[in-house]
Amino acid sequence: MNSSTDVAVKVGRREQNKADKLRRIKAAARKLFVRKGYEATTTREIAEEAGLSVGTVFFYARDKGDLCCLMAVDRIHKLFARSYKNVDPSHTLLDQLTSFFSAAFVDAAKNPSLSRILIKEMVTYKDKSQVDEWVTSRVEKLLDIARQRGELEFDDSTAFVARTVNQLYLAEMRDWIVGDRPDPAEGLATLRRSLFLVFEGLKYGPAPAPRRRQAKKSAKKSRILSADPTLKA
């Protein structure tokens, strides 16, 4: 085995070791957060559960909030990957998006207290943009298909509309999860209503005609001005 091969093997083992530690940290964090609750769990307990030092845990996450997000990212990806795969291409865009976001509401309702913490901590999570981009890219594909078949017409970019849809979903999720017993069906119904409003658009009608009395005043003023040119100045 030559020196370059030796280096490659060492790097491979090092990366495999790091991946294994990260997997153990995620598993330990989820187990303790679910069993004891987020607030009652300490970083030291997570390290002990994972069989690692506290210093090693902090190498992967800056604090407990970061651990909560780290634990959830893979789960979020799997949820949305499964939802996207199950979207029926023959359905309307509104039905497709409702189906796409449904798994997130159902999963969040299983542990509302932990979901509230996760939503709060995700706001400042260092890799939040990657999670948003992953979800938005799937929404963008659905929008593209709907646009191609003439279901939607808009002048803005599909990417911007997809970003708007994702932000609307996150806002509805935040409002919904604060309830005592959040019902996924109610959360999805509100999201669907909001999405319909976005897609339907808020169209401005023609300017209202001036009131008859006001119109008479305007006409009288015009006659006065035309009769006396000095008033125009």
**pLDDT tens-digit readout, 74-130:** 889 999 999 999 999 999 999 999 999 999 999 999 999 999 999 999 988 888 888
Encoded amino acid at 168, one letter: L
Helix (H), strand (E) at residue 7: helix 3-36
Q: Which CATH number fits domain 1-60: 1.10.510.10, 1.20.960.40, 1.10.10.60, 3.40.440.10?
A: 1.10.10.60
In angstroms and rounded to an integer, the radius of gyration of the C-alpha atoms of the chain is 28
CB 136 within 8 A of CB 166: yes
Tell me what pLDDT residue 155 has.
82
59-88 tens-digit pLDDT = 998 889 999 998 888 889 999 999 999 999
Query: Which range has the top average pLDDT, 148-162, 165-179, 191-205, 212-226?
Result: 165-179
147-187 tens-digit pLDDT = 999 898 888 899 999 999 999 999 999 999 998 899 999 99
CB 213 within 8 A of CB 221: no
Q: How far apart are CA 131 and CA 136, in angstroms?
A: 9
Count other C-beta atoms under 10 Å from residue 124's C-beta: 10
Which residue spans of the chain are classified as CATH 1.10.357.10? 63-203
- CATH number belonging to domain 63-203: 1.10.357.10
Residue 49 confidence (pLDDT) above 70 = yes
What predicted TM-score, i.e. pTM, was given to this entire model?
A: 0.76
Q: What is the token pair recorded at 28?
A: 């330990």
Q: What is the token pair recorded at 146?
A: 């709907």
Q: How far is CA 100 from CA 25, 62, 85, 95, in A?
A: 29, 32, 9, 9
Task: Provide the 8-state DSSP code for 208.
Answer: P
Q: How far apart are CA 82 and CA 85, in angstroms?
A: 5
Tell me what pLDDT residue 158 has.
93
Tell me what pLDDT residue 1 has.
53
Which residue spans of the chain are classified as CATH 1.10.10.60? 1-60
